[in-house]
Amino acid sequence: MNNYRDTLRESAVRAGSLLCVGIDPVMDWLGYGREEPQLGGPSPEEVILEHLQDFLDVVDHSGLLPGAYKPNLGYFHALDRPRQGEYQGSRTLAKILDLLQERQRGIPVILDSKRGDIARSSENYASEAFQVWGAQAVTVSPWMGDDSVTPFFMEGRGVYALARTSNPGAARFQNLPVVTSRGETPLFREVVRVVQEWSRTFPGVGIVVGATALEELGEIVAYLASAPVPLLIPGVGKQGGSAEATLEVLRSVGYPLELVRVNASRGILFPWVPAEAPRGRRERRDALAEAYRSMHQALALRDGEALQ
Ligand SMILES: O=C(O)c1cc(=O)[nH]c(=O)n1[C@@H]1O[C@H](COP(=O)(O)O)[C@@H](O)[C@H]1O
């Protein structure tokens, strides 16, 4: 099995862009209410799969591959009704993963589940991501310590530990100063330091840092530049982060861009949000095409950047 850094490198060269397409489907955003589907109307599974097929057609038509996909597990589980024996959300995710494998083999899928537990439990969460769903990489929350993250270190797979997240409340804990044997440092910096240490024995481990936290991103990439790790940077598009400003920060320290993926979810698959979805399928497809092309371009690699 390819090691995860090779997977990132090869897919970056094929895509020519750092764009990671987030797959976070919500029926509301496709013009359907959140309430249970109407009798006789299309099911969430049908609606979401049709939308995804349209998106993959847009990708084919553009001739531009993305650098990764990132489905967020919570959006799919929210469509399951296990107490009624109904698993539409899980089935939809499974079908989407099959489609990606058929149509875009080699483009990594990062399962966004933000797991992390006592070691024995993390082993199960690792199986969930890698064996059950067959993802190439996973997001994990590192706050329970080393033994909660290391069970995810499996040959060929990627693991992204949350360091400085993109949400408005992120600084509350992550920027708190902590005292270590090397002096005082914000908590997120200690996570970054430890991830870099882990990466010496498991090169597939990296970090999540939000595009909405450019100052922290700058500190992190400057710190990591001598021994870089994979970066997953969400928060561009609907959360207000800028693709261009993010790339500028990375380029300013010569960060190896092939190890980086910048995620946009609503900004690509639901570009009309918070406005209502266009009524016609054709208009929705046109909106996807425009959003995909412009974000792919904003995150494009320059000649030779992925070949360092
Ligand atoms: O781990 C993540 O992917 C993640 C970390 C973070 O700091 N911020 C963040 O937004 N995310 C995820 O990235 C996606 C962002 O979605 P959009 O805001 O629609 O682009 C969602 O699936 C979030 O759960």
Give pLDDT, residue 244: 97
What are 245-281's pLDDT values in tens digits?
999 999 999 999 999 999 999 999 999 999 999 999 9
Per-residue confidence at 34, pLDDT binned at 50, 70, 90? low
Closest CA to 165 of 234, 84, 77: 234
pLDDT at 38 over 80: no
Which residue ranges have their beta carbon within 6 Å of ligand 1? 22, 24, 70, 72, 112, 114, 139, 165-167, 208, 210, 234-235, 237-239, 263-267
The whole-number average pLDDT for the span 69-98 is 97
Question: Does the structure show a pLDDT above 70 at 36?
Answer: no
From ligand 1's centre to the CA of 39, what distance in Å?
33
Tokens for 237, please give them. Answer: 């598009």
Report the residue among 29, 216, 265 best suited for mutation to probe ligand 1: largest number of ligand atoms under 8 A from its CB. Answer: 265
Q: What is the DSSP string of 74-143?
A: HHHHTT-BGGGTB-HHHHHHHHHHHHHHHHSTTS-BEEEEEE--SHHHHHHHHHIIIIIS--SEEEE-GG
Q: Name residue 40's amino acid.
A: G
pLDDT over threshold 90, residue 2: no
C-alpha 263: how far from chain center: 5
For the CA of 236, the closest atom of ligand 1 is 20
The answer to whether the Cα torsion of 35, 41, 43, 46 is positive or negative is negative
- Average pLDDT (151-167) is 98
Pocket test for ligand 1, best of 19, 23, 69, 72 (most atoms within 8 A of CB): 72
The span from the CA of 63 to the CA of 123, in Å, is: 39
**Cα–Cα separations (whole angstroms), residue 85 to 34, 91, 201, 237:** 19, 12, 43, 36
Q: What's the 192 CA to ligand 1 centre distance in angstroms?
A: 19
Question: pLDDT band for position 39 (50/70/90)?
Answer: low
The residues, any chain, with a CB within 8 Å of residue 168's CB and separated by 6 or more, are none
How many whole angstroms separate alpha carbon 209 and alpha carbon 257? 15
**Measured distance CA(223)–CA(169) in Å, rounded:** 24
| Ligand 1 atom index nearest CA of 270 | 19
Pocket test for ligand 1, best of 75, 77, 263 (most atoms within 8 A of CB): 263
Ligand 1 atom closest to residue 164's alpha carbon, by position in its atom list:
7
* The pLDDT of residue 33: 73
Catalytic pick among 70, 95, 114, 238 = 114
Close Cβ partners of 197 (under 8 Å, ≥ 6 residues apart)? none
The confidence band for 90, taking pLDDT boundaries of 50, 70 and 90, is very high
* Centroid of ligand 1 to alpha carbon of 199 (angstroms): 23
Q: In the prediction, which pLDDT does 286 show?
A: 98
CA distance 37 to 40: 8
Region 183-211: mean pLDDT is 98
Ligand 1 centroid, distance to 256 Cα (angstroms): 22
Q: Is 238 a catalytic residue?
A: no
pLDDT at 35: 57
Give the mean model confidence (pLDDT) for residues 130-142.
98
Contacts of residue 191, Cβ cutoff 8 Å, sequence gap at least 6: 142, 161, 162, 163, 174, 207
> 0.90 exceeded by the pTM?
yes
- CATH 3.20.20.70 at 4-307, yes or no: yes
Strand order in the sheet with 231-234: 68-71, 19-23, 260-264, 231-234, 205-209, 158-164, 137-140, 110-115
Percentage of the residues of the chain whose pLDDT score is greater than 90: 94
Lowest average pLDDT, out of 32-46, 63-77, 102-116, goes to: 32-46
DSSP for 34-47, written as a single string:
SSPPPTTSPPHHHH
The ligand 1 atom nearest the CA atom of 239 = 18
Scored b (16 or more CB within 10 A) or e, 131-168 reads eebebbbbbbbbeeeeebbbbbebeebbbbbbbbbbee
C-alpha 234 – ligand 1 centre gap (Å): 5
Q: Is the pLDDT of residue 306 over 80?
A: no
Rounded CA-CA distance 110/134 in Å is 10
Ligand 1 centroid–CA 212 distance in Å is 11
Query: If pLDDT is split at 50, 70 and 90, which confidence band does 105 have?
Result: very high
Atom number of ligand 1 nearest to Cα 210: 7
**Closest Cα to atom 24, ligand 1: which residue?**
72
CA-nearest of 119, 103, 113 to 133 is 113
For residue 21, give both structure tokens.
Answer: 């397409």
